[in-house]
């Protein structure tokens, strides 16, 4: 799974918040295309052929682990390469193993008490399928989306286009009102 582009341009040299300028390639969201889904705050996972993989962010200049699978080329802004490594038997994968119940192939979000401070409030570790929870009434303009997310209790929104493209925006991306 490639990194998903943001809906709005980010101020990389300032507060790192977004501004009311659409990222090239995300115009289809503003045009009303695609389905909005809830973005969960956890860590990304992949199930492929019944095997669980966890997201691994290879930082620029580092040597990848032997079992690292890149998901895309080097990010020209950050120098990082997002990818996958198989979930193993070590303590770093404990929560992944606890949550995995033979889920279907696809991408998932690991959420739970020991993941990202558990902002979702799950009592146990679980995998949530990406795109599972649709948000039919999400606005698409900068100001209305900003208000919607700043008032919401969700991490953000991911739009899924029928051709496979995706675009995201998170509540924390916006400057306060």
**For the segment 23-53, what is each residue's pLDDT rounded down to a tens digit?**
999 999 999 999 999 999 999 999 999 999 9
- Per-residue confidence (pLDDT) for residue 33, from 0 to 100: 97
Same domain, 85 and 19: no
Same domain, 51 and 74: yes
Domain that holds residue 147: 5-40+135-173
Same domain, 88 and 121: yes
Same domain, 36 and 52: no
Residue 126 CA to residue 108 CA, distance in Å, equals: 9
Is the full-model pTM beyond 0.85? yes
The pLDDT tens digits of the residues spanning 126-144 come to: 999 999 999 999 999 999 9
Going by C-beta distance under 8 Å and a sequence separation of 6 or more, which residues neighbour residue 173? 6, 8, 10, 17, 18, 156
Residue 122 CA to residue 111 CA, distance in Å, equals: 7
The DSSP bridge pattern shows strands 126-129 and 51-58 to be unpaired
Same domain, 81 and 151: no
12 has pLDDT over 90: no
The pLDDT tens digits of the residues spanning 56-113 come to: 999 987 899 989 999 988 888 788 899 999 999 999 999 999 999 999 999 999 999 9
- Per-residue confidence (pLDDT) for residue 173, from 0 to 100: 96
């Amino acid at each position: 799974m490639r990194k998903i582009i943001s809906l709005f341009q980010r101020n990389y040299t300032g507060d790192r918040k977004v501004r009311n300028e659409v990222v090239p390639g995300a115009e289809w969201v503003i045009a009303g295309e695609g389905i909005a889904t809830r973005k969960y705050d956890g860590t990304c996972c992949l199930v492929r052929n019944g095997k669980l993989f966890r997201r691994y962010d290879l930082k620029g200049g580092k040597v990848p682990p032997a079992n690292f699978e890149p998901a895309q080329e080097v990010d020209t802004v950050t120098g990082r390469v997002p990818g996958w490594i198989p979930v193993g038997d070590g303590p770093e994968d404990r929560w992944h193993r606890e949550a995995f119940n033979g889920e279907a192939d696809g991408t998932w979000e690991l959420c739970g008490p020991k993941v990202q401070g558990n902002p979702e409030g799950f009592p146990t570790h679980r995998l949530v399928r990406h795109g599972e929870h649709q948000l039919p009434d999400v606005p698409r303009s900068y100001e209305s989306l900003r208000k919607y997310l700043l008032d919401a209790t969700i991490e953000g929104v991911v739009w899924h286009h029928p051709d496979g493209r995706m675009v995201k925006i998170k509540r924390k991306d916006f400057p306060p009102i």
